[in-house]
Structure formats: C-alpha cells, structure tokens
Amino acid sequence: MSGKMGVALMRLLAHVPLPLLRALGWVIGEVLFVLAVPRRRVALRNLALCFPQESAATRRRWARQSFVAFCQSWLDRSWLWFAPRETVLSRVRLTGALEELEGNAPTILFAPHFYGMDAGGSALTLHTPRAFTSIFSTHPNPAVDAWFRNGRQRFGDVRMLNRKDGVKPILSNLRKGGLLYLLADMDFGRNDSLFVPFFGVPAATVPSLSRFARLGRAKVIGMATRLVPGGYVAEITPAWEHYPTDDLKADTAEMNRRLEEWVRPEPSQYYWVHKRFKTRPEGEKGLY
C-alpha cells in the first residue's frame, strides 16, 4: 500500500466507532505478534533484560499486549488527526499538575515513548495556547511524513522541528516562555550519548533533557500518556525539584529512573519494539 493510500484509509477509519477501531487494532496486534518475529524477539529481549525477576509467561503476555497497544494507537491516529475537534476533546484527557502549564516560565515536558505519545501531544495543545515545539525525524515516505507533521501541528501553536534544524530554534522558543515536548528515551547511537542505567542495564541515552533545561533556563515536568477504553489519559507531574544539576550524567540517570517508575505499573504500554540496548559500551557484546 502506498503512503497516500494509507493516509486515505486512515481518513476513512476516523469515522469508525472507537470500540470497533480498538477491536480491529487488537486483531492486527495479535496477528503481528505471531508474524513479526524479529520485532517480537526484540520486545521479549527488552522485557527479559528489564524484568528478569518476572516469569517468561508474564513477559510474553506483556509483549503481546504491547503489540496490541502499538496497533491500537496507530489506528487511533485516524480520529486523532482527522476527526472533528469535539471528538478528540471527548477522547483525550489531560490530568495531574496542570498548574505547571500556566504562566510563561520556560518548560520542558519529558514525554517518553509510551504508545499514547501523540495523543498526549494533542491533549497538551488542546489545553494550552502557549507556543509549543517538538523534534521529529523525517519519515522516508513523503505522504506519511506530511501526515505525521500536519497531525502533530493540528491544534494550538505548534512547530515541529527536524533534528537537522539544530538547537537554536528550540532554545529560542524556550527562552520566550514556550514549551518543549521532548522524547529523549530512545537509543540514538553512540554520538552525544551517555551510558546510564535503564532498569539496571547500561543504556545509551542522549542527555538532551538536562542540556536543554540548563541552556533554556527551563523547568522540567513529566508527562505519560496511556491508552484507556475511552481513549487516552495524559498525566502531568509536578516540576522536578533540583533539576537540572551540574552533573550531566547524574541528570540523565535521574531521567531514566523516573521513566522506570512510570513504566512499572503498565509495562505493556511502553515502546518495547525498539532496540533500546542496541548501542553497547566499548568492548561489550551486543544484546540482540
């Protein structure tokens, strides 16, 4: 299927009742768990590394549920980016320390790769009129890339920045009192990464959260978005105390520690299909 045809299909799926759409996502997720063997192995390996104390059966159940959540959240982008504003408002809910979004203090939202991350972004832009930036990587298919970019900029005062744009526009927006929606929890390779623990396993982690907070003189708050039967709930944490510090590595380790706390209640909603531990310290064997 071409990118344009796929986007057209998503436009049609925006009209499907949510229970039916979620049921379709469940079916596709169950099928992919069986057929997408390489990604299934990645998810199971990640869970084995992060939760060695759990039984293999439990980790397999989480991996299966993770595939389902992945597919459901993918299909949900149909209504998230094409349905009327009122529909989106009725299905995405922003909770927690909402007072942190008030005023004009430079603010970074650490929004990890839970499957509801795009719904969380929409919930945020529907809630606040403040200028909002986020960083994206270009999709190889132009039609899909445009769909992602337009969808993420659909509501509010949003500017999606390519990684190639550098840090200047990010810092400029922060220093003007804007928001930065930052997803800094993936393995982006060895360059500019630090090895800090993630569930006890050294993980190559970009220290961008601490750096942007220092350079932009910004406070940091967390935001985790989870799938629920009626849509999504995005929860905002109070501002992190004593963050950032002068210790870049300690700050980055603290980011991962907080992420662990959010993952533990519902591990299946985290993005385990990514090779989080692909980059290894010098001399260490690969884990996949």
List, for residues 225-238, the tens digit of each pLDDT value: 999 999 999 999 99
Q: Is the peptide bond before 197 cis (omega within 30 degrees of 0)?
A: no
Domain locations along the chain? 84-269
Q: With the C-alpha atoms ordered 175, 181, 183, 188, is the resulting torsion angle positive or negative?
A: negative
Amino acid letter, 43: A
Residue 263 — φ and ψ, nearest 5°?
-75, -40
173: helix, coil or strand? Answer: helix
CA 132 – CA 130 distance, rounded (Å): 6
Q: What is the pLDDT of residue 161?
A: 84
List, for residues 238-278, the tens digit of each pLDDT value: 999 999 999 999 999 999 999 999 999 999 999 999 999 99
| DSSP symbol at 164 | G
CA 102 – CA 283 distance, rounded (Å): 48
List, for residues 12-61, the tens digit of each pLDDT value: 999 999 999 999 999 999 999 999 999 999 999 999 999 999 999 999 99
Distance (Å) of CA 49 to CA 117, 165, 230? 24, 35, 32
For the entire predicted model, the pTM comes to 0.94
**Does residue 1 have a pLDDT over 70?**
no
